[in-house]
Amino acid sequence: MDYPQFRKLEGAPNLYAIEGPKHVTEWQPLGTGKWVVHQHYASDYPRYQWVTELLQGDEPVCTLTVEGWHRLLNEREVVSEETAPGRIPGAPVQASWKDEAAVGPLTTFGATAHAHCLAEVATDAEVRWALQDRAALPLMVLGGGSNVLMHRDWKGRMLHMNIRGVQKIADDGNAIEVVVGAGDSWHDWVMHALDEGWNGLENLALIPGSVGASPMQNIGAYGVEVKDRFAWLEAIHRETGALERFDAERCAFGYRDSVFKQAEKDKWVIVRVAFRLDRSAPLNTQYGAIQTELESRGWDRGTTHRQVAEAVMAIRQSKLPDPSEVGNAGSFFKNPVVSQAVFERIQSDHPEVAHYPAPGGKVKLAAGWLIDRAGWKGYRRGTCGVHDRQALVLVNYGGATGAEVWALALDIMEDVEAKYGVRLEPEVNQVGL
């Protein structure tokens, strides 16, 4: 673990925590008894060079141990802190491992499984501790557990993300930038934002899961995706401990996709996410079902952001099973994106096939429609089945194992492929398959 590293200026009280190759936190003295904290992001050459020089630790800089750094830090009181949920470099670690922990209840699917050891982490320092401790064991990060199916026990370390908190960092009277801990519940955050009048996420109400998982698969619903309101995220590198920022470009967002599912898969732990919201955000009500729902409630004139959220919640509740009642992980499959030629072939046999335009002249088919028309909607096989109001969702009626759910998923995939010539792909992460 190369980060964080602690430095001090010779002959001056300033303290530095180098959090990664491009990120330094500085404690600057104010009067005799106080610190002001600054975050420095090295986004260009001179500042990048400055971090490199601090790292080298040559005069006029000296290297401190974490204990030495804490001793000096505690001599003064922090009065202003440009900080964010969980970001206290070198904070004392209170987390510990729980051996042979049941992790089924931490997932919304609820398939029975254990982790060899499990730790809840609530700060960056605890994340780094968990990354270094028992390092010979493989590591898995669990957020809200709403997008995983456990196929068997996890024979390694499981880190349950619990960094929480909401902090506004910019506000020009209309636009707001807010940082949210990766361990906060997505839906609670959306509701909190609406309470504050920070708008733009209302169409994403009631999506199960955590804030930290939201950019990973670029969650989306009713015409809005997380990328539309994403500002940046911070993540800790699993091997070096470096804290780095990812802007939207570096995240490479796609349909239920990001760099964290591709080139950077399993390399980072997302610790917080910043959003750009807007008091006067335009309303997204063009998605058919929303408009109908608003009209049925007489809310189609002077509609508020809160009303859009309530319409979305009502639609979701009418179609999707509540994970607290019946285990599920939302859409089990992605909507397949096919070429125009494949689409035309399917449409000639099935003129009513549900579809949407996709980037690059391609066509996105509704997997729910394909599964439904193939006859699987409401099908039940022992402990698991296909939801009776939304064929895209597989459900655990109680006691289902990952293997049982997967056997059903494979049968559906094979049947849809045989009938329509399209191979479905799971959207839910399969652990231990």
Comparison of 250 and 389: residue with beta carbon closer to ligand EPU: 389
Which residues have C-beta within 8 Å of that of residue 326, sequence separation ≥ 6? 395, 396, 397
Q: Which two tokens stand for residue 336?
A: 């397949």
- The side-by-side arrangement of strands in the sheet containing 327-331 is 327-331, 393-396, 384-386, 380-381
Comparison of 54 and 416: residue with beta carbon closer to ligand EPU: 416
The DSSP annotation for 397-413 comes to -SS--HHHHHHHHHHHH
> Which residue is associated with the tokens 């006859």?
375
- Sort 7 into a burial class: Cβ within 10 Å, 0-12 / 13-18 / 19+: buried
Comparison of 39 and 347: residue with beta carbon closer to ligand EPU: 347
Binding-site ranges for ligand EPU (CB under 6 A): 221-222, 330-331, 334-335, 354, 366, 368-369, 372, 377, 390-392, 427
Shortest Å, Cβ 94 to ligand EPU = 34
Shortest Å, Cβ 233 to ligand EPU = 20
Shortest Å, Cβ 400 to ligand EPU = 18
Could you say which of 7, 256, 276, 316 is catalytic? 256
Shortest Å, Cβ 432 to ligand EPU = 21
E strand spans, 143-185: 148-150, 154-161, 166-171, 175-181
Shortest Å, Cβ 319 to ligand EPU = 6
Comparison of 69 and 369: residue with beta carbon closer to ligand EPU: 369
For ligand EPU, which residue has the nearest CB?
Answer: 330
Which residue type occupies 397?
Y
Distances (CA, A) of 313 to 32, 147, 162, 202, 299: 53, 19, 25, 9, 15
Write the DSSP symbol of residue 283. Answer: P
Which residue type occupies 89?
P
Classified as helix, coil or strand, 331 is strand
Comparison of 368 and 402: residue with beta carbon closer to ligand EPU: 368
Could you say which of 185, 210, 258, 331 is catalytic? 331
Comparison of 59 and 352: residue with beta carbon closer to ligand EPU: 352
Q: Judging by DSSP bridges, how do beta strands 34-41 and 77-81 pair with one another?
A: parallel
Q: Which of 260, 262, 266, 268 is nearest to 243 (CA)?
A: 268
Asked if 427 is an active-site residue, the reply is: yes
Asked if 348 is an active-site residue, the reply is: no
Shortest Å, Cβ 29 to ligand EPU = 50
Asked if 331 is an active-site residue, the reply is: yes
**Active-site residue list:** 256, 331, 427
